[in-house]
Every structure is written in structure tokens, then in C-alpha cells.
Amino acid sequence: MTENLLFAFGLTLMAGLATGIGSLLAFFTSTTNTRFFSFSLGFSAGVMIYVSMVDIFVKAQDALVAALGEVPGNWATVAGFFGGMVLIALIDQVIPKQGNPHELKKVEEMDKSPKNNSLLKMGTFTAIAIAIHNFPEGIATFTSALQDPALGVAIAVAIAIHNVPEGIAVSVPIYYATGSKKKAFKLSFLSGLSEPIGAGVAFLVLMPYLNDIMFGVIFAGVAGIMIFISLDGLLPAAKKYDETHLPIFGVIAGMAVMALSLLLLI
């Protein structure tokens, strides 16, 4: 049990701190590799959509039907699924647009004049927004890894991929506003820590009550959260980075890799 907990926490920490990788990438390039990010974000969306609908939703449904009966269990699954969507949508609504991590930002588009207060404000808002977004993602990664380690790995990798450009969104404006790579990296790094904090909350608050019903509702909510993030954040951003068919190729590749990994685990 202890090994499973440490593994789940480790995966969640890895996924969250991928924002730091984005920060480092921003310091060593003068332009954004739009094709790479377009494919990667599409890939991440493909993984999330496939695993949510084919695996996570089904597991939630099986647990709730077994615990509550067929009709109440199916209703509870659907309610949990859309409840997760509503939760992440509400989080999006309370975040100012200039700090929303789903707003596309490129390295070369930033005003490079030092001590730019508007850039500093943008970067700070984005760091706060990403921290808020990462919190439910941390719960999703942790609970998934605890229930099914292989599934947890897939979710952690997908979330880590989409955290990389979010790290760039934090570090670039702060770096150009302050001239300090250290400060930019620190804020980007810290914004990702809310993911393992979310895992900690899941462990302390949810674990004592984790029966079949609680597990089913959480998993249904996780599926809803990841579908919303994919449709509202990852796919639109992927399309903005590259308007060709590259994003959909990424989606198909992500789904194919996820499908193959699930088949190999049967």
C-alpha cells in the first residue's frame, strides 16, 4: 500500500513539475516550435479523450452500478461526469482572461523591454491560473494511479505534455518583465506544485471515505475534467499553433498509443 501511495505521489509530482521544463525551454529558444507543440497538444488530447471515455468512464460506471444498482449507478456516473465538467468550467470562469493558461502565448510575440509591469502581471496571473487548474488534475492523476498504476502513468504523461507550454506561458512574460531567469523559473516551477498538493488533499480528505461509490463518482468526475480540458484547452491551442491537419494527426496518434497500451495490459 505504501509503495502504491509513493508511486501515485511521484507520478503526480512529475506531471506537475513539467511546467518547469516549459520554463527551461523558453530560455533556450527565440522562437516557438509551433509544429511540435501543435502535435504534442493534439497527442495529449487524444490520450485524455480515449482513456476517459474507453477506460475511466467505464470503470466508474462498473463501480457505481455494482454499488447502487443499474439505474441509480448509471445516473450517478453521468452526474459525476458532467459534474467534473462543471467544476473545471467554473474554475475557468473565475480566472481573468489574461491569466488563463489556455490563452496561446509564443516566445517571439512577447515584448522584450525590461521592467514591463503588464508582462509581470500577465505572468503572475498565469502562474496563479495554472496552479488552480493543476489542483484537480493532481487529484485525477493521484486517484487514477492509486487504482490502476498503468492508467496513472498514461494520465500523468498526457498532463505533463500539456503542462510544458503552460510553463512557457508563465516564464516568458515574467522573464521579460524582470530580466530574471531565476524568478521566472521559480514561479513556473511553483505553479506546478499545486498538482502534488491536489494529490495530498485527495489522500488526506478523500482516502478515508474511498469506497466503491466515492471511487466511482471521483473517476466519473476525472473523465469529465479531462474531456473538458481536451476540448476547451488542448485542441483549440493545438489548432492555433498549427492550422494544418497536424493537431488531428496528434489526436489520432495519442488515441492509438493509448489503445495499444490498454490492449497490452489485458
**CA atoms within a 13 Å half-sphere pointing along the CA-CB vector of 257:** 21
In this model, does residue 266 exceed pLDDT 70?
no
Residue 142: its pLDDT value, please?
A: 86
Any binding-site annotation on 102?
Answer: no
Secondary structure of the chain in the HEC alphabet? CHHHHHHHHHHHHHHHCHHHHHHHHHHCCCCCCHHHHHHHHHHHHHHHHHHHHHHHHHHHHHHHHHHHCHHHHHHHHHHHHHHHHHHHHHHHHHCCHHHCCCCCCCHHHCCCCCCCHHHHHHHHHHHHHHHHHHHHHHHHHHHHHHHCHHHHHHHHHHHHHHHHHHHHHHHHHHHHHHCCHHHHHHHHHHHHCHHHHHHHHHHHHHHHHCCHHHHHHHHHHHHHHHHHHHHHHHHHHHHHHCCCCHHHHHHHHHHHHHHHHHHHCC
Segment 171-209, tens digit of pLDDT: 776 777 777 778 888 888 888 888 888 888 888 887 777
pTM over 0.75: no
Distance from CA of residue 67 to its chain's centroid? 29
Residue 111: its pLDDT value, please?
A: 47
Residue 239: its pLDDT value, please?
A: 84
Question: 74, 61 in Cβ contact below 8 A?
Answer: yes
- Angle at Cα 205 formed by Cα 203 and Cα 19, nearest 5°? 55
Residue 28: its pLDDT value, please?
A: 66
In this model, does residue 70 exceed pLDDT 90?
yes
Question: 206, 27 in Cβ contact below 8 A?
Answer: no
Number of domains present in the structure of the chain: 1
Cβ partners under 8 Å of residue 253, min gap 6 = 39, 42, 43, 46
pLDDT classification of 1: cutoffs 50, 70, 90: low
199 conformational bin, left if phi > 0, alpha if psi -120 to 50, beta if neither: alpha
Any binding-site annotation on 163?
Answer: yes
C-alpha cell at 260: 495499444
Output the average pLDDT for the chain.
79
Any binding-site annotation on 137?
Answer: yes
Any binding-site annotation on 166?
Answer: yes
Any idea which residue has 493509448 for its cell?
258
Cβ partners under 8 Å of residue 19, min gap 6 = 130, 134, 163, 164, 166, 167, 170, 188, 189, 191, 192
- Domain hosting 93: range is 2-24+33-264
Segment 110-129, tens digit of pLDDT: 444 444 556 666 667 667 77
Any binding-site annotation on 100?
Answer: no
